[in-house]
Chain A
Amino acid sequence: MHILVVGGGMGGTILANNLARRLSGELEQGSSKITMLSASDKHMYQPGLLYVAVGKMSTSELYRDQKSLLEPSIDFHVDPVEKFDLDNNSVTTKSGKKISYDIICIATGSRGNAAGIPGLAENACQFYTEADALAMYKKLQKFEGGKVVVATGVPHKCPMSPLEITFFLIDYFKKRGIWDKVDLHYTYPIGRVHSLEPVAKWAAPEFDKEGVTYETLFNMKEVVPGKVISEEDSSAEFDLLVTVPPHKGMQVIEDNELGKGGFIPTDKKKLNMEGRDNVFVLGDTTNLPISKAGSTAHFEAEALGENIAAMVQQGEPVRDYDGKVFCFIEAGDGKATYAMFDYNNPPNPQAPTSGLHWFKTAYNRMYWASARGII
């Protein structure tokens, strides 16, 4: 049985390692094989970009060699897929190789798409790539006060990031001693300051306490120098615009017409691509109405690892993905909290504590063990 994992991000890496351990006997005997195809020989800890943007982490802390994170039994190649031929169970890579599989797992992720809103890329700071996070930090260092607007596109990766960057900006400006020269205005696409109602109920009074103003039902339509205009016919003037940009799936998914916007239609429990039993999808690549977050990919990978191993060993999957998501929420002032929920249980976040902030800080370094499947 040949299992092909496309994508070497968090979901693909955890899944491949999980499978390699569960199928160690089959891999040793040669009756099964796991191949991973990735676009890079480096693995980035993407949540660290938020910290880089405000000078709390250096870029050197974000990377490890991908091969060093993988079980040695995984056949790893830096050779991204360019063409999916799902009807014939094969892919063609950038180097021109045609690779056949019995089971394919697509975990190519998502990307910021600031270009989808006229003027956004030219006028806003963002932090979803290394270059953008570094550019944002440089811009912050030169900022001496004025109107700062945080504006969020839909859909976006990491649902906590609009709040986290806002609280980090408050910390940053206070630390530099210019908070009294800053008017910070937060906007959000739906009718409260966060999609999770209990989180919104906690965050809004925190904004009030800090003097942060906010406007909800604000979806960016266009940005011109100094002003962001919403689809709801509102606008906000800025000296500095910080955006969580709208996201799309990867170009290769769009080019192969696997799903609108680059997001593949996926069964919410079995995680197979709709209509196909040997094609599985995880992480940001799915079109599921759940958080685009590393923890989502992590828990999906664990469910899929168990199921695909069972398919190899017993002929059929054994469990459903329950929709589990766990997100830390950096709350500024050295504190953090978290939200945990699944398809049946809503989140019930607790008051932020310094202990949870330090746990999150430790996790930023323990992530590599998580990717290896050790924790």
Chain B
Amino acid sequence: MSDRILVDAKNTFCPGPLMELISNMKMAEVGDELELLSTDEGSAADIPEWVNKVGHEIVDSFTEEEVLHIVVKKIK
């Protein structure tokens, strides 16, 4: 199994969680899983929208202590 990379974007406004995910996705290897932590209300919608549009895979999504965790697998 490839590494799971933690992307802690809690309480950040610029560049924000999605841009952080895209940056880290570019540095990751195909098959890596990235766990994004976000407190941005928009992340629940805009992260899956981008992930699905590009063709990566949402592996898991849950909220813990008001922090959204989204696990994304790099497919290509």
Contact = CB atoms under 8 A, between A and B. Distances in A.
Interface of A: 116, 154-155, 159, 189-191, 195-197, 217, 219, 231-232, 246, 260-261, 289-291, 323, 325, 327, 339, 341, 343-344, 346-347
A195 B53 contact: no
Interface in B5-35: 7-9, 11-20, 22-23, 26-27
Contact of B54 (A155, A231, A289): A231
A358 B65 CA distance: 45
Nearest to B45: A191
Chain B at the A interface: mostly helix, strand, loop or mixed?
helix
Given A190-B18, A191-B46, A289-B20, A346 B53 contact: no
B49 interface: yes
A261 B27 contact: yes
Contacts, number: 71
Interface of B: 7-9, 11-20, 22-23, 26-27, 42, 46, 49-50, 53-54
Contacts of A323: 11-12
A217 B22 CA distance: 11
A81 to B, nearest CB: 23
B54 A232 contact: yes
A289 B9 contact: yes
Contact of B16 (A190, A219, A327, A343): A190
A82 B40 CA distance: 40
23 contacts: A154-B22, A155-B19, A189-B18, A189-B19, A190-B46, A195-B14, A195-B16, A196-B14, A196-B16, A217-B53, A219-B22, A232-B53, A232-B54, A260-B27, A289-B9, A289-B15, A289-B17, A290-B15, A291-B14, A325-B14, A343-B11, A343-B12, A347-B14
A217 B46 CA distance: 10
Given A341-B13, A346-B13, 13 more contacts: A154-B15, A154-B22, A154-B26, A189-B18, A190-B46, A195-B14, A196-B16, A232-B50, A246-B26, A289-B12, A290-B12, A341-B14, A343-B11
B75 to A, nearest CB: 12
5 closest A-B pairs by beta carbon, nearest first, are A155-B23, A195-B16, A289-B12, A190-B18, A195-B15
A197 B46 CA distance: 13
Contacts of A343: 11-12
A347 B12 CA distance: 11
Contacts of A246: 26
Nearest to B16: A195
